[in-house]
Every structure is written in C-alpha cells, then in structure tokens.
Amino acid sequence: MVVTPRVTFCCTDTKTQPWLDGLRAALPNATVELWSPGAGPADYAVVWAPPQRFFDEQVALKGIFNTGAGVDALMKLRMPSNVPVVRLDDAGMSVQMAEYVCHAVIRHFREFDAYEADMQGGKWSYRKPRLRGDFPVGVMGLGVLGERVSRALAQFDFPVLGWSRSPKTVKGVRCFSGEAGFTDFLAATRVLVCLLPLTPDTEGILRRDTLAQLLPGAYVINVARGGHLIDDDLMALIASGHVAGATLDVFRTEPLPAAHPFWQHPQITLTPHTSARTLREESIAQIAGKILALHNGAPIASLAGVVDLKKGY
C-alpha cells in the first residue's frame, strides 16, 4: 500500500501561496497544507521561525525542513529531540554570498567608497594603489557558504584565511580551527568576514577583545547574524582608529531601528539583510527531494544539511 506523505507548512514573514503551490507541484502524491492551530498531524514540516505551539501540537513529525541555512530561530524553541532537522545547504545562496562579500572587500580595498564621496563633492582625485598582500581576508565559518566565499576571494589574489570550529581544508585558504587557532587567525587578519552560525558559543564573538586582535586598520563584514556583533564595541574601535570601518547586512533588531547610530555613521555601510536571499524555486526543489528521500527510506545521514541540535548548526 502506498502511504501518502502529509506535509505541513509554517513559515512566518513569508508569502505562503507560492510556497504551497511549489511544494504541491514538486510533491504531487503528497498532501501539503498550511498549518493553523489545531491542525491534524503531519509527517513532515517545512518551517521558518514557527511558534512554539506548532511543535507542541505536531508530535508525529518524522522530519523538519528549515527554509533557510540558519537555524538559530529553531534553537530557541522546544523541539522533539528524536526528529531530524534539515536546513538548506545552498539552494543558490552561496553564489549570492560570494558576490556580496567580494564586492564589500573590493570596495574597501580599492577605496571606491572614498572615490564615490569625492566625486559627489566635485573632487577629482587619485589614491596610491594598495597591495593585496597587505589585506589578508579572514573568513569565520567554513561551511557551504564560507567555503564558497573563501574560494571566490582567493580568485582575486587576496591572502585568504579561514577559521572553523573543527579542522577544515579548503584549497587556496590557510585554515585555522578551534580555540587554539582562533588567536593566530585574528592576528593574521585585516578584513574579517563573519559567516558563523549563531550559537551560545558564537553570540557576541565580534566584540572589543576579539576585534582588537585584528591587524591595525581592520575592516569588518558581518553577513551571518546580528547577534554576533557587539555594536558599541565596533563603534568604539572605529573611533580609536584600530578598525577602519564595516559593512553590515544583519542586525540584532531588524529592521534596524531609526534611531540606531549605524544609520548615520560615515564608516559603516548598511544593507537590509539581503546578502543571500532564499531562492524559492531552488529551495522547494531541494526540500521536496529530501522529503521524498526520507519518506522512501533513505537514512538521515545521507541527506545534506542535517542539523546537529547540540551544536546548533
């Protein structure tokens, strides 16, 4: 007898109908429904920042599929410990992230921000070319996104360093790992890119004592989560001259409050959490494929993007 999988969709801040239509087209033999309080039990859940009630009610789940790469919102909830959680492992986000970070690094290195300000002020000027060897770029986090970003930066002949919790090997990247390698990583870095998952261990990792270990004239790029950065510490180090500036795409409160000093800071470039957007068609195809694999008996270890709930990523 063929068992029809039941899929429930619960994603906040998302246009639901295109997702439902896409999932139904990709899973024609499944029942795909929008979750509402009191809904019947489902086999699989497709979620983004669901309420606690969702997990309290959906006690028959066999798999939870997150519509993003970061699962920090899920980690705040009480979830069933025996149900696998699977995040997006790429779905078109890594190339977007590589574009964004390379743009931010090159804009700072080539001083295009200063040239733009000069031109807006009617000033025609030149600056002495900088040497790439003086701008080693350190990437914190060497998962799918971090590895793609690191390899892209290396194509522009920047010295590229990478740091991760466990040892990694990336061609063209000088890799560090663990607490023992963290200090050496920071000391060798001038442009710092944060691509870490947000966990209790990485909360506030971009703070005064870590950023102060970077090479003088450092530059900070945060495209991970706003919770990684201590805002006041960054501004203090910019004021001191140790940090030259920052490009920030993520913030502790989003949208960024109107009164926040980042808005008017001349050395901080802001974007509205847009460094790597979820591409719906690619994401639906990936999630549907994993649901079918799991439903047809594939071992959970064979799926890409399975989350270790103890680590939080």
Closest CA to 93 of 262, 267, 286: 286
Q: What is the pLDDT of residue 3?
A: 76
Give the start-to-end residue ranges of the domains of the chain. Answer: 6-91+278-302, 93-270
Mean pLDDT of 149-177: 97
93-270: what fold?
Rossmann fold (3.40.50)
Catalytically annotated residue among 242, 260, 273, 280: 273
Rounded mean pLDDT, 30-53: 97
**What is the CA 150 to chain-centroid distance, rounded?**
14
- Distance between CA atoms of residues 270 and 243, nearest Å: 16
Model confidence at 13, in pLDDT bands (50, 70, 90)? confident
Banded pLDDT at 91 (limits 50, 70, 90): confident
- Residue that is written with structure tokens 């740091």 in the block: 163
In the structure, what pLDDT confidence band is assigned to residue 279 with cuts at 50, 70 and 90? very high
Say if CB 152 and CB 173 are below 8 A apart.
no
For the chain, what is the mean pLDDT? 96
CA separation for the pair 94, 293 (Å, rounded): 23
Q: What pTM, to 2 d.p., does this model score?
A: 0.93
Q: CA-to-CA distance for 311 and 195, rounded, in angstroms? A: 15
Calpha distance 280→286 (Å, rounded): 10
Q: Is 273 a catalytic residue?
A: yes
Residue labelled with tokens 């047809």: 296
pLDDT tens, residue by residue, 230-254 = 999 999 999 999 999 999 999 999 9
Spell 15-53 as b/e; 16+ CB within 10 A means b.
eeeebbebbbebbeebebbebeeeeeebbbbbbbbbeee
Burial class of 127 by CB neighbour count within 10 A (0 to 12, 13 to 18, 19+): exposed
Per DSSP, what are the bridge partners of residue 66? Answer: 47
State how far the Cα of 307 lies from the Cα of 87, in Å rounded to an integer: 7
Report pLDDT for 134.
98
| Residue 222 · residue 206 · CB < 8 Å | yes
Region 97-120 average pLDDT: 97
Q: How far apart are CA 225 and CA 24, in angstroms?
A: 32
103 is an active site residue: no
> Would you place residue 2 in the very low, low, confident or very high pLDDT band (cuts 50, 70, 90)?
low
Residues belonging to the chain: 313
| Per-residue pLDDT tens digits for 250-272 | 999 999 999 999 999 999 999 99
Q: Name the catalytic one among 6, 225, 228, 295.
A: 225
In this chain, the answer to whether the domains covering 6-91+278-302 and 93-270 adopt an identical fold is yes
Homologous superfamily of 6-91+278-302? NAD(P)-binding Rossmann-like Domain (3.40.50.720)
Structure confidence by residue, pLDDT tens digits, 129-147: 999 999 999 999 999 999 9
| Reported confidence tier of residue 292, pLDDT bands at 50, 70, 90 | very high
53 phi/psi in degrees, rounded to 5: -60, -30
Residue 90's pLDDT band, with cuts at 50, 70 and 90, is confident
pLDDT of 61-79, one tens digit each?
A: 999 999 999 999 999 999 9
